[in-house]
């Protein structure tokens, strides 16, 4: 199980990126700078999160364009049934959205589909990339860190419930539930990521 970035938990980027990874990022930004200005909307910027080597910077960015996959470490799912948000009750963090590490030879879409089913026994339709979290470390990182440095990403997908299979609790996922907006806003995850949730809810209600 992975750690989501929030004020209470973090999936931290770590390790020294190989020159080829940095070159890929530079080329991506250079070739797409004009398009990025048009399609990116920064929802929120946080500084010096305590779960990441400091100084650091973390941004939630609305965009349907994917960052470099070589720098993307995980994929999460904001899944709705009309305006009801599907959440999983995790043994270590209580109510959270489904998601996890992108495994080797796995696409982000496959990650979301797999994690969604493992944690909620739900199948989604109309999955699409909705946002990403850009995490930048502005300091040296210990050599035992394993994730891209200095910049890494978490990908956020949005979709709607297609069907539910019978839920089977595990040691990691204890339950699932659909939360109405007023209920969702009382959960810790939505409280920590309110701007992202409201943007996703607004997007769902427009469709």
Number of domains in the chain: 1
Tens-digit pLDDT profile for residues 140-160: 987 788 889 999 999 999 999
Q: Is position 190 within any domain?
A: yes
Q: Is position 1 within any domain?
A: no
Structure tokens at 30: 């250079």
Q: Is position 7 within any domain?
A: no
Contact 55, 91 (CB under 8 A): no
DSSP annotation of 184:
H
Span 176-201, average pLDDT:
97
Q: Is position 5 within any domain?
A: no
Tens-digit pLDDT profile for residues 104-140: 999 999 999 999 999 999 999 999 999 999 999 998 9
What is the domain-level CATH number for residue 104? 3.90.79.10
Q: Is position 200 within any domain?
A: yes
Q: Is position 185 within any domain?
A: yes
Q: Is position 121 within any domain?
A: yes
Tens-digit pLDDT profile for residues 64-110: 999 999 999 999 999 999 999 999 999 999 999 999 999 999 999 99
Domain that holds residue 104: 19-206
Q: Is position 108 within any domain?
A: yes
d(CA 116, CA 9): 19
Q: Which of the pair, 41 or 27, is modelled with greater confidence? A: 41
């Amino acid at each position: 199980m992975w750690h989501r970035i929030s004020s209470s938990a973090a999936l931290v980027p770590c390790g020294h990126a190989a020159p080829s990874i940095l070159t890929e990022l530079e080329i991506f930004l250079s070739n797409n700078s004009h398009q990025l200005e048009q399609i990116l909307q920064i929802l929120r910027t946080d500084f010096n999160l305590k779960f990441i080597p400091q100084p650091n910077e973390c941004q939630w960015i609305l965009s349907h364009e994917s960052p470099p996959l070589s720098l993307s470490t995980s994929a999460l799912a904001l899944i709705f049934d009309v305006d009801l948000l599907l959440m999983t009750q995790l043994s270590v963090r209580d109510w959270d959205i489904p998601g996890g590490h992108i495994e080797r030879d796995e696409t982000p879409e496959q990650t979301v589909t797999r994690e969604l089913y493992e944690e909620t026994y739900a199948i989604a339709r109309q999955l699409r990339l909705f946002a990403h979290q850009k995490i930048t470390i502005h300091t040296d990182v210990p050599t035992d860190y394993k994730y891209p440095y200095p910049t890494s990403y978490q990908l956020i997908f949005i979709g709607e419930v297609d069907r539910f299979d019978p839920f089977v609790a595990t040691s990691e996922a204890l339950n699932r539930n659909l939360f109405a907006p007023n209920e969702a806003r009382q959960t810790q995850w939505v409280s920590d990521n309110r701007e992202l949730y409201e943007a996703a809810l607004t997007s769902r209600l427009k469709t």
